[in-house]
Amino acid sequence: MIVVMKQGATRAQVANVTARIEQLGCRAHLSEGEERTIIGVIGNGRPIDREPIERMDGVERTVPILRPFKLASRDFHPQDTLVSINGLAIGGRQLIVMAGPCAVESREQLLEAARAVKSGGGHVLRGGAFKPRTSPYSFQGLGEEGLRLLAAVREETGLPIVTEVMEPQMVPLVTTYADILQIGARNMQNYALLHAVGEAQRPVLLKRGMMSTIEELLMAAEYILSHGNDRVILCERGIRTFEQYTRNTLDISAVPLLKQLSHLPVVVDPSHGTGKWELVEPVSRAAVAAGADGLLIEVHPHPEQALSDGAQSLKPTRFADMMRGLQPIAEAVGRTL
């Protein structure tokens, strides 16, 4: 941390800040410039809280130097983390495609979607049993019945399952059914939930909040890692901007940046990232070209009848086409599909 003193800060104010820094077990390093005095804080290994110092008399502001995440950072863990599920390794040479309907609606719908995912070349079945919806009047998901349908379809198709968990006390229940626990964008900073999945025995797919910075996404991952679960998969799914033609603005740079800052696998959700099925295929290609380790795609046998997010779901034939189109892109960046 660097402490920038105000122009005209007194010697006594500088001395007080220095004393406080030393009291925290750190060393203070003074630089006196023409206009400002700057104090470098040399830490003792533990993170320092900037706020109390920012409030001291004569202090203009503080500047953080180290990134606030540690367990999630590549500095701390240089090798790529591979997350294994049913013999699949997410984060390795093979791209992993998780696909399926936004919401589980019925056994027929789910089975038809799962078969489309499998025959198209997908690896994991996605589907929501509990649905966070902006309106209390929209379909909220089938609940535990949805989880049972997911397990039954896994039985029939062999596809592992990723599904969202929305409340800390539901983590044990969802864990008995799911292969991967999904944390939705709206819950990325639901700390009680992050704590609960941090103690679960399942990999976690952590979606970036629509209002969250890359640093905050990595801090949310840090929460999970710090509670003992080291199988975290990061997911870029678009952020909120002023642009209105798309539902969100997919942050493609986040893919190489997350791979550089962190050792965790990174997947991309172009369905939520764009909100339009016509954009899912080109943006999926872009994600693979940018270095993503996998994709999360909405596939629905009959999107026009979907109870949620139909506008961004692919029909089975279009999903199969998309997978074929991804093949040469994957090869071009040294991956397999």
Burial profile 202-231: b = 16 or more Cβ within 10 angstroms, e = fewer = bbbbbbbbbebebebbbbbbbbbbbeebbb
Measured from the CB atom, the residue of 25 and 158 that comes closer to a copy of itself is 25
Give bridge partners of residue 90 from the DSSP assignment: 83
Among 19, 22, 25, 66, indicate the residue that binds a copy of itself (CB under 8 A). Answer: 66
- Asked whether the beta carbons of 210 and 180 are under 8 A apart, the reply is no
Cβ-in-10-Å burial (0-12, 13-18, 19+) of 313 comes to buried
Taking contact as CB under 8 A, which single stretch among the options 88-96, 106-114, 152-160, 218-226 is the one that binds a copy of itself? Answer: 218-226
Q: 28 to 47, contacts with a copy of itself by CB under 8 A? A: 29, 31-36, 38, 40, 42-45, 47
Assess 296 for contact with a copy of itself (CB under 8 A): no
19 binds a copy of itself (CB under 8 A): no
Sheet of strand 27-32, all strands in order from the earlier edge strand to the far edge: 27-32, 37-42, 2-5, 59-63
Q: What is the DSSP string of 206-247?
A: EEPPTT--HHHHHHHHHHHHHTT---EEEEE--B--S--SSS
Judged by beta carbon, residue 67 or residue 118, the one nearer a copy of itself is: 67
The answer to whether 336 contacts a copy of itself (rule: CB under 8 A) is no
CA dist., res. 270 & res. 318, Å (int): 14
Task: Please report whether residue 176 would count as binding a copy of itself according to CB under 8 A.
Answer: no
Least spacing, CB of residue 83 vs a copy of itself, in Å = 20
Task: Find the shortest distance in angstroms from Cβ 87 to a copy of itself.
Answer: 28
CA–CA separation, 173 vs 163, rounded Å? 12
Does the footprint of a copy of itself cover residue 240 (CB under 8 A)? yes
Among the listed residues 119, 211, 324, 336, the single contact to a copy of itself using CB under 8 A? 211
In angstroms, the CA 103 to CA 315 distance is 15
Least distance to a copy of itself, CB of residue 191, Å: 5
* Least separation in angstroms between CB 158 and a copy of itself: 29
- In the structure encoding, which two tokens stand for residue 257, read together? 């940046």
- Give the other-Cβ count within 10 Å of 85's Cβ: 19
How many binding residues for a copy of itself (CB under 8 A)?
109
Shorter beta-carbon distance to a copy of itself: residue 81 or 308 = 308
- Near a copy of itself in 179-208, by CB under 8 A: 186-187, 189-192
Q: Decide if residue 317 touches a copy of itself (CB under 8 A).
A: no
Q: Are the C-beta atoms of 272 and 312 separated by less than 8 Å?
A: yes
Cα distance between residue 278 and residue 117, in whole Å: 18
Does residue 15 bind a copy of itself (CB under 8 A)? Answer: no
Identify the residue among 305, 317, 324, 336 touching a copy of itself (CB under 8 A).
Answer: 305
Residue 125 pairs in a beta bridge with 99, 161
Q: Which is nearer to a copy of itself, 3 or 85 (CB)?
A: 3
Measure Cα distances from 107 to 142, 145, 146 in Å: 11, 10, 9
Interaction residues for a copy of itself, span 70-99 (CB under 8 A): 75
Report in angstroms how near the CB of residue 137 gets to a copy of itself at its nearest: 5
Please identify, using beta-carbon distances, which residue of 14 and 254 lies nearer to a copy of itself: 254
Q: Is 230 in the site for a copy of itself (CB under 8 A)?
A: no
Which range touches a copy of itself (CB under 8 A), out of 90-98, 116-124, 143-151, 163-171? 163-171
Q: Of residues 306, 322, 323, 337, which one binds a copy of itself by CB under 8 A?
A: 306
Q: How far apart are CA 2 and CA 75, in angstroms?
A: 21
Q: Beta-carbon neighbour count of residue 300 at 10 Å?
A: 30
The least distance separating a copy of itself from the CB of residue 296, rounded to whole angstroms, comes to 16
Q: Does 321 bind a copy of itself (CB under 8 A)?
A: no
Spacing of C-alpha 215 from chain mean position? 11
